[in-house]
Amino acid sequence: MNEGMTGMTGFTVGQAARQLGRSEQWLRSAEAKGRIPKARRDLNDWRIYTAEDIARLRQLLVPQREGDPSSKPVNSVDPTDKAIESSND
């Protein structure tokens, strides 16, 4: 956890991505496409994620009914979507 110039304590995009088991690129792309909520920004315009933000993102990434392949996560991105992994932000 880092404290930025604004005094905001939180996680960088890299730290948040590691906690979610995703890449930084995936996290940026999902945010840009509106599939996950936008992160707060510090004075340098860096994304800052709180522990609560990461917990909320984890919930969005888990299907509502475990084991039901027809149950898609709310506001999430299909992790097998190659367009997301290869997109340039």
Whole-angstrom distance, CA of residue 64 vs CA of residue 51: 21
Domain 11-62: which topology?
Answer: Multidrug-efflux Transporter Regulator; Chain: A; Domain 2 (1.10.1660)
DSSP-assigned letters across all residues of 33-65: TTSSPPPEE-TT--EEB-HHHHHHHHHHHS-SS
- Listed by start position, the domains of the chain span 11-62
Whole-angstrom distance, CA of residue 62 vs CA of residue 60: 6
Query: pLDDT (tens digit, 9 = 90+) per residue, 4-60?
Result: 444 567 999 999 999 999 999 999 999 999 999 999 999 999 999 999 999 999 988
User: Alpha-carbon Rg of the chain, whole angstroms?
Assistant: 14
pTM of the model: 0.64
| pLDDT score, position 23 | 94
| pLDDT score, position 83 | 40
